[in-house]
Amino acid sequence: MAGLPDLIALLYRADWTRLSLAAELRAEYGQEPPPPPPSLPFPRPPRKYRSRWYRDWPGQKQDNGRYVGHGVLLIGPGGRWRLVYPDPGRSAGGEAAEGNDGEHVWSWRPLEMGGPAPLPVRENGAYLPVPELLCPSRLLGGYTLEELGPVTVAGRDAIAVAATPRHDVLRSVPGRIFHDRISHDRIEVAVDAELGILLRRIETSGGELVTLTELTDLTMNPPEAADPARFAPPAGSRPVRDPEDAPGRSGLGWQVAANAAGLAAGGLGAWLRLAPHLPGHRPAAEASFMAAMPSAEPGPLDPGDGPLPSDDLLGLLYRSGQYDGDDPQVRGAAVRRWNDAKAVLGQVPGTFRAAGHGGVGYLLDTVAGNETVTLSTGQLRIGGPELYYLDYSSWQGRPGPLVMACDGEQYWGIHENRARVGPARPMTGEFASLVGSSWLLGERLSGGVEITFHGRRGYHLRVTRGDGAAHEGPTMFYPADAIVDAETGCLLRLIAYDGDAPAEWWELDGVTAEPGDTADPAGFRPHIPPGTRVVEESGHPMVDATAVMPGLTGTAAHAAAEAFRRGTDAVSAARSFLDDLRGHR
């Protein structure tokens, strides 16, 4: 058996774009269960953007009500690929196909199949062939892995591995708060012992099969993979000209929701402008507003600085944030965050700024303010996955809570003269991504030279975007520069760059560490001053955010948020009804 450190390195270093292979695919699946309510109050994405290679192509219904789909995959040098889907009941040449010729992504289906060909699986602008098998590093950030033993799959030596949702400081299920859409509680995979890709993936829930995806035959370096013509789009295929060509939002229901969202955003903007002048408002430190970011010392790594990180460093990242083991974990730290508002808001499209009669643009302009860089500071204590206390000493008049605390049973978000109370949850937000850094294993890393930072031994890394998976870290900006603590695996510093200039910057200082053992919950319960208004969470993010706003502005924003919730509920109900009429497509 390879051992967990070797397995982590094997999964992380797998790179399908360097392979040349031909394989047959098989998938077994049932009617997908309805997803849980979205974490954000927007309609769910179209089915065709879910990352299942068989999602829009015909499958054969079995006697047990499940479906079986087949495909033929060819991968060539330079990221070229072609995936063919035989249509049951049709002769050769009647199959659908999609692929990438090295420059363009395309999709094709016979006219008699009806309708235009669906686009290939897209994740964050990247079109990937069978990502559930060929992008195995995604298992490293959201799951606890257990090596089961050697197996043989598709005629190749493999390692059987069980993956269960990881319970750590970042999350209690794979994917962060905005991406929790899983329908399984266990995955068993067969990892190719040489290539690191997955030869088989079985997802189960409560012991029942959800989805099985596997390679039933695999040939390395087939002659046809060296022929560029095999990847060329057929005549009449559908080209993918723009990674952002998802259907636009339209219709009366969506317009109502957009208008309500804009009104709520406008209310937020008004409150932000008035908040520093409201009675009892906690003043922000004047020194927290600056014209520019501080200078980075040490400076960021250049693209050519260093090879891939060592296996030991990959294992350190994997273990970070796991408070149920014997490894040292962060117990306390001072936290600092610099943010360049102009860089962040510069990423917002003009069409979004105009939503809701300009309310969104008003909110964004308010957040940017006259200063370009803000500094927030505070103190963090952690006792386990749902035991934490984050107290901000400066928060620049933003609408976020000044204290976020959880004792394992209840969560508190304490604002000015108001407190929001709800069920216990893993810590979320940017500093959670510093304490638990396993999300970095889904990105491309280089470097790893040992340095000393804030008196602690660490490793210096350069971070660039991964293989197209939804980013799990705290930033939308890349490249990033990270310093990893050598004892706990937390990030002592993370700087995200917009071009050559820092856009976002986080630090942990004065880190204290102890082995992962549960602490006394009583130490993580906040003191709520007498007279504080306590609001129970509704479970709807926008409604909960506006519930703690004071005065008439808060009343208006809360009313708009309620209207938005009702509007999106109506849109969701209408969509579900139409889906039922169409046969759950």
pLDDT average, residue stretch 365-389: 80
pLDDT average, residue stretch 493-500: 93
Q: How confident is the model at residue 370 (pLDDT cuts 50, 70, 90)?
A: low
Work out the number of other CB atoms within 10 angstroms of the CB of residue 400. Answer: 14
How distant is the alpha carbon of residue 492 from its chain centre? 21
What DSSP assignment string belongs to 356-378? TTTHHHHHHHHHH-S-SEEEEEE
Q: How confident is the model at residue 76 (pLDDT cuts 50, 70, 90)?
A: very high
- 306 Cβ partners below 8 Å, 6+ apart? 446, 447, 448, 449, 462
Domain ranges of the chain: 4-240, 251-281+539-585, 284-347+370-537
Cα 107 from Cα 125, distance rounded (Å): 16
On the question of pLDDT at 97 being above 60, the answer is: yes
Q: How confident is the model at residue 288 (pLDDT cuts 50, 70, 90)?
A: low
Q: How confident is the model at residue 255 (pLDDT cuts 50, 70, 90)?
A: low
Q: Considering the chain, what is the average pLDDT of its residues?
A: 76
pLDDT average, residue stretch 436-444: 91
Q: How confident is the model at residue 108 (pLDDT cuts 50, 70, 90)?
A: confident
Cα 138 from Cα 440, distance rounded (Å): 10
Cα 201 from Cα 187, distance rounded (Å): 7
Q: Which residue has the higher pLDDT, 34 or 458?
A: 458
Cα 172 from Cα 385, distance rounded (Å): 8
Specify the pLDDT at position 523: 92
Tell me which amino acid residue 224 is.
E
Quote the percentage of the chain above a pLDDT of 70: 64
The helix/strand/coil state of 475 is: coil
Q: Are 231 and 101 in contact (CB under 8 A)?
A: yes
Specify the pLDDT at position 136: 93
Quote the percentage of the chain above a pLDDT of 90: 39
- 584 Cβ partners below 8 Å, 6+ apart? 31
Cα 280 from Cα 297, distance rounded (Å): 38
The structure tokens listed for 37 are 């309510």
How distant is the alpha carbon of residue 482 from its chain centre? 18
Q: Which residue has the higher pLDDT, 170 or 321?
A: 321
Q: Over the stretch 117-162, which tens digit does the pLDDT of each residue have?
A: 666 666 555 778 888 999 999 899 888 999 999 999 999 999 999 9
The helix/strand/coil state of 493 is: strand
Q: Are 437 and 490 in contact (CB under 8 A)?
A: yes
pLDDT average, residue stretch 176-192: 70
Which region among 248-252, 509-513, 520-524 has the lowest average model confidence (pLDDT)? 248-252
Specify the pLDDT at position 339: 87
On the question of pLDDT at 408 being above 80, the answer is: yes
Which region among 137-151, 242-256, 379-393, 463-477 has the lowest average model confidence (pLDDT)? 242-256
pLDDT average, residue stretch 40-62: 52
Q: What is the 3-state secondary structure (H, E, C) of 58-78?
A: CCEECCCCCEEEEEEEEEEHH
Q: Domain 284-347+370-537 adopts which CATH fold?
A: outer membrane lipoprotein receptor (LolB), chain A (2.50.20)
The structure tokens listed for 12 are 């992380």
Specify the pLDDT at position 90: 54
pTM score: 0.79
Helix or strand (DSSP H, E) at 491: strand 491-498
Q: Which residue has the higher pLDDT, 183 or 94?
A: 183
Specify the pLDDT at position 312: 95
- Whose tokens are 């889904």? That residue is 442
What is the CB-side half-sphere exposure of residue 515 using CA atoms within 13 A? 4
CATH superfamily of this structure's domain 4-240 = Lipoprotein localisation LolA/LolB/LppX (2.50.20.10)
Alpha-carbon distances of 504 from 296, 344, 361, 459, 513, rounded to whole Å: 12, 8, 21, 20, 26
Q: Are 121 and 134 in contact (CB under 8 A)?
A: no
Q: How confident is the model at residue 574 (pLDDT cuts 50, 70, 90)?
A: very low
Q: Which residue has the higher pLDDT, 40 or 263?
A: 263
Q: Are 75 and 129 in contact (CB under 8 A)?
A: yes
Specify the pLDDT at position 285: 42
- Whose tokens are 């790594």? That residue is 301
Helix or strand (DSSP H, E) at 384: strand 373-384
Specify the pLDDT at position 387: 92
On the question of pLDDT at 246 being above 50, the answer is: no
Residue 163's nearest CA partner among 144, 147, 148, 150 is: 144
On the question of pLDDT at 32 being above 70, the answer is: no
On the question of pLDDT at 565 being above 60, the answer is: no
Q: Over the stretch 328-360, which tens digit does the pLDDT of each residue have?
A: 999 999 999 998 877 766 666 555 555 555 555
Specify the pLDDT at position 578: 42
Cα torsion for 363, 245, 473, 440, to the nearest 10°? -160
pLDDT average, residue stretch 441-455: 93
Cα 166 from Cα 175, distance rounded (Å): 10
Task: Tell me the helices (H) and strands (E) count for the chain, helix number first.
Answer: 11, 27
Q: Which of the listed ranges 23-27, 40-44, 140-144, 260-264 does the model predict with the highest average pLDDT?
A: 23-27
